[in-house]
Amino acid sequence: MERREVVFVDGVRTAFGRAGPQGIFWRTRADDMAVKVVRELIRRNPKLPVDRIGDVIFAATAQVGDQGLTLGRDVALLAGIPQSVPGFAVDRMCAGALTAVTAGAGEIALGACDIVLAGGVEHMGHHPMAEEVDFNPRFVAERLVDTSAVTMGATAENLHDRFPQITKEDADAFAVRSQQRAAAAWQNGVMRETVVPMAVFTDEGWKGADRDEFLRPDTSLEGLAGLRAPFRAGGRVTAGNSAGLTDGATASFLAGEEIAAELGLEPKMRLVAVSFAGVEPELMGIGPIPATKRVLEQTGLTLDDVGLFELNEPFAVQVLTWCEGMGIDPEDERLNPYGGAIACGHPLAATGVRLMAQLAYGFKERPLVRYGLTALCVGMGMGAAVLWENLGAGH
């Protein structure tokens, strides 16, 4: 049996809120955030019959509390999807939603499903990183990993050590660019097309969560220069050149290409290839380098064939190491044209579909671009990369 082609039909996200009591989602359940994006996705795609969904796959890094029940099934039932549609949860930390997509794509490619709903949610306010994790003492006792591997900021400082040519000034300059591009994207429409406004209850009553809370369009190099480095004395990683702790949810529809045609859907891009890679846990930020190289090897393409890159930005230095490793200018217009996580935040397991939704929008704006890449690094030393083909006319 030949592999079926898989297409990305549509993807949306909530606004990304500041984690903690001051954040817009503090009084909102994680699974309710996921339900919101699912219901909006269904509303936006009326030609897609919900009873044809073959699986609902949702990711969370903290598989506890209000995001602890088998999320795909939990969210599907809460969203009113027929009980005949199954679902499950997945965890690959920062690559959660991306892995939900690739797992669903595998089901479609094998013919097990026609349509899959895949996404992720992370309420980092309710579930701070590693709070409910019991690390095996062997990790340290047997030196299986460096102790810095469990502190993401420390791994970013390690990248500065490994790549001394990447300075704090370089990281700050990248952060300023991310904020400027995100501000322009909010003005120009990409976010209006991909972000779902949500009514939420707060200490001041009901409010609309409709804008990312970490946006700082007036960010300047001078302002960033004075920020303290919390992970190391004299360090180079600051709140200004990192993604903030964030609450958010994302969801997407995937389908077999022939099913999309049968239903009269207008898919935005076709999945070409997928790669996951492992690296030293204490240098987890380099993970996208081998993942990107592998995904290109699978296809016989080179970076010159790829016209758009959507890379996650947990730390500016992390993206800069990818640029260094892949020979890409950090100011390249192909890279994160709408800004990234430094400006909008990184709700761990949700981020992968944000990257895809922005890439799909980028394809629409650039019909001559044929291929695009979504990639990110993953805690405990991994990287992920997915190559997509633009289904718009022109290339």
The yes-or-no verdict on residue 115 having pLDDT over 70 is yes
DSSP assignment of 339-366, as one string? --HHHH---GGGHHHHHHHHHHHHHHH-
Mean pLDDT of 179-198: 94
Per the CB < 8 A criterion, the answer to whether 318 and 377 are in contact is yes
Q: Supply the pLDDT for residue 28.
A: 98
CA distance 337 to 334: 6
Mean pLDDT of 317-324: 98
pLDDT class of 91 with cuts at 50, 70, 90: very high
Q: Supply the pLDDT for residue 188.
A: 86
CA distance 325 to 289: 6
Per the CB < 8 A criterion, the answer to whether 265 and 48 are in contact is yes
The yes-or-no verdict on residue 300 having pLDDT over 80 is yes
Q: Supply the pLDDT for residue 116.
A: 98
Q: Is 335 helix (H, G, I), strand (E, B) or coil?
A: strand
DSSP assignment of 216-281, as one string? -TT--HHHHHT---TTSTT-S--GGGBPPPEEEEEEEEEEEHHHHHHHT----EEEEEEEEEE--G
Q: Supply the pLDDT for residue 13.
A: 98
pLDDT class of 290 with cuts at 50, 70, 90: very high
Q: Supply the pLDDT for residue 393.
A: 66
Per the CB < 8 A criterion, the answer to whether 121 and 14 are in contact is no
Q: Supply the pLDDT for residue 132.
A: 83
Percentage of the chain lying above the pLDDT 70 cut: 99
CA distance 337 to 331: 10
Half-sphere exposure of residue 292: CA atoms within 13 angstroms, side-chain side: 28
The yes-or-no verdict on residue 1 having pLDDT over 80 is no
CA distance 246 to 71: 19
Per the CB < 8 A criterion, the answer to whether 9 and 260 are in contact is yes
Nearest of 265, 201, 231 to residue 8 by alpha carbon: 265
Mean pLDDT of 104-114: 98
* Per-residue pLDDT tens digits for 124-139: 999 998 888 898 999 8
Q: Supply the pLDDT for residue 395.
A: 60
When the pLDDT of each residue in the chain is averaged and rounded to a whole number, the result is 96
Q: Supply the pLDDT for residue 3.
A: 87
CA distance 335 to 167: 19
* Per-residue pLDDT tens digits for 338-355: 999 999 999 999 999 999
Mean pLDDT of 62-81: 97
> Which range (51-60, 110-119, 181-190) has the least confidence?
181-190
Per the CB < 8 A criterion, the answer to whether 26 and 257 are in contact is no
Strand-pair category, 87-90 with 53-59: parallel
CA distance 340 to 328: 17
The yes-or-no verdict on residue 226 having pLDDT over 90 is yes
Tell me the H-state helices in the chain.
30-44, 71-78, 96-110, 138-141, 152-162, 168-188, 190-194, 221-225, 257-263, 288-299, 316-326, 341-344, 351-365
| Bridge partner residues of 387 (DSSP) | 273, 373
pLDDT class of 2 with cuts at 50, 70, 90: confident
CA distance 231 to 263: 52
The yes-or-no verdict on residue 207 having pLDDT over 80 is yes
Q: Is 201 helix (H, G, I), strand (E, B) or coil?
A: strand
Token pair belonging to 286: 């380099």
Per the CB < 8 A criterion, the answer to whether 299 and 293 are in contact is no
The yes-or-no verdict on residue 389 having pLDDT over 90 is yes
Half-sphere exposure of residue 249: CA atoms within 13 angstroms, side-chain side: 30
The yes-or-no verdict on residue 113 having pLDDT over 90 is yes
pLDDT class of 298 with cuts at 50, 70, 90: very high
Q: Return the ∠ at Cα 37 (arms to 36 and 39), rounded to 5°.
A: 65
The yes-or-no verdict on residue 83 having pLDDT over 70 is yes
Mean pLDDT of 351-374: 97
Token pair belonging to 231: 């992970």
Count the neighbouring beta carbons within 10 Å of the beta carbon of residue 158: 24
Per the CB < 8 A criterion, the answer to whether 247 and 34 are in contact is no
- Look at the block and give the residue holding tokens 């219901």: 39
Q: Supply the pLDDT for residue 139.
A: 87
Q: What CATH number is given for 6-124+245-387 in this structure?
A: 3.40.47.10
Residues with a known catalytic role = 94, 346, 377
The yes-or-no verdict on residue 246 having pLDDT over 80 is yes
* Per-residue pLDDT tens digits for 146-187: 989 989 999 999 999 999 999 999 999 999 999 999 999 999
